[in-house]
């Protein structure tokens, strides 16, 4: 957020008022898109069967499992950028190695090959991170243990396969979204001669929007605990 005024002023001086207005409009659209995707989730309905424990009846309630479209958050972008920094570091540590120096033109952020590899890495790390953080088999076993089931899906292995199928499908647009948002500052660097701290895109916009949404959620929960209607209707 601190670099916003400097970046806007440099774009205004370099490209003029029309490009500056266009950048603001595109930036607001990107922010709206990031908020939309970060809030988007697929809700898997779960029904709990009634059971007697002593003299009390438990269960009989319905709830859902929220599967976010962007289940991995900002982690894949960080992993991909860190991995792509290794060749740059290698060229700095061993300047006398000729084949490393030949890679330098491809290591610039405005190079199409660099953008393509960065995009592929983000998609790979998105699936990788989701696979190690969400275990469909464990979730299905816990549901079966407490008498929960997804309507129309048998408990146990069929439930785990269904959760894995749904998670794989919604992770695809989430991975593409992360890749496109991460490429925005690189494309701006190539087309607008902006610096690498271009505000509308990459990790910066994801962090700013994520922190803003979390802050609003915390304010909302605090207000609801005190019997208020909430921060936003």
Walk along the chain (233 residues) and give the pLDDT tens digit of each residue: 787 888 788 778 877 788 788 878 888 888 888 889 888 889 998 888 766 566 666 656 788 888 888 888 888 988 988 888 888 787 777 777 777 677 776 677 777 888 888 899 999 999 999 999 888 999 889 888 888 888 888 888 899 999 999 999 999 999 999 888 888 777 766 666 555 545 666 777 888 888 888 888 888 888 777 765 555 55
SS3 label, residue 30: helix
pLDDT of amino acid 146: 80
Distance CA 100, CA 90 (A): 7
Whether the Cβ atoms of residue 121 and residue 79 lie closer than 8 Å to each other: yes
**CATH assignment at residue 189:** 1.10.3370.10
Q: Is 192 domain-assigned?
A: yes
* Residue ranges making up the domain that contains 190: 4-225
Q: Are strands 56-58 and 51-53 parallel, antiparallel or unpaired?
A: antiparallel
Whose tokens are 């208020």? That residue is 228
pTM of the model: 0.76
Q: Is 155 domain-assigned?
A: yes
Q: Is 131 domain-assigned?
A: yes
Q: Is 230 domain-assigned?
A: no
SS3 label, residue 41: strand
Q: Are strands 41-48 and 51-53 parallel, antiparallel or unpaired?
A: unpaired
Q: Is 99 domain-assigned?
A: yes
Q: Is 66 domain-assigned?
A: yes
- Eight-class DSSP state of 106: G
pLDDT of amino acid 195: 52
Distance CA 106, CA 57 (A): 66
Q: Is 231 domain-assigned?
A: no
SS3 label, residue 65: strand
Domain count, the chain: 1
pLDDT of amino acid 200: 65
Q: Is 233 domain-assigned?
A: no
């Amino acid at each position: 957020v601190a670099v916003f005024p400097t970046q806007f002023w440099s774009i205004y001086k370099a490209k003029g008022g029309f490009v500056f207005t266009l950048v603001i409009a595109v930036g607001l659209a990107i922010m709206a898109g990031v908020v939309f995707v970060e809030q988007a989730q697929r809700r898997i309905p779960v029904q709990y069967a009634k059971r007697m424990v002593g003299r009390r009846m438990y269960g009989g309630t319905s709830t859902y499992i929220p599967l976010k479209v962007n289940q991995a958050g900002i982690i894949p972008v960080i992993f991909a950028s860190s991995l792509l920094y290794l060749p740059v570091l290698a060229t700095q540590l061993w300047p006398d190695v000729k084949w490393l120096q030949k890679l330098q033109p491809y290591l610039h952020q405005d190079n199409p090959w660099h953008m393509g590899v960065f995009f592929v890495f983000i998609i790979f790390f998105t699936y990788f991170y989701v696979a190690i953080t969400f275990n469909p088999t464990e979730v299905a076993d816990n549901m079966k243990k407490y008498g929960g089931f997804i309507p129309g899906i048998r408990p146990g292995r069929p439930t785990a396969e269904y959760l894995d199928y749904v998670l794989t499908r919604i992770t695809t647009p989430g991975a593409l979204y992360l890749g496109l948002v991460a490429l925005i500052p690189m494309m701006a660097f190539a087309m607008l001669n902006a610096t690498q701290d271009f505000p509308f895109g990459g990790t910066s916009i994801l962090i700013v929007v994520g922190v803003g949404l979390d802050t609003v959620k915390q304010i909302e929960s605090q207000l609801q605990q005190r019997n208020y209607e909430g921060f936003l209707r």
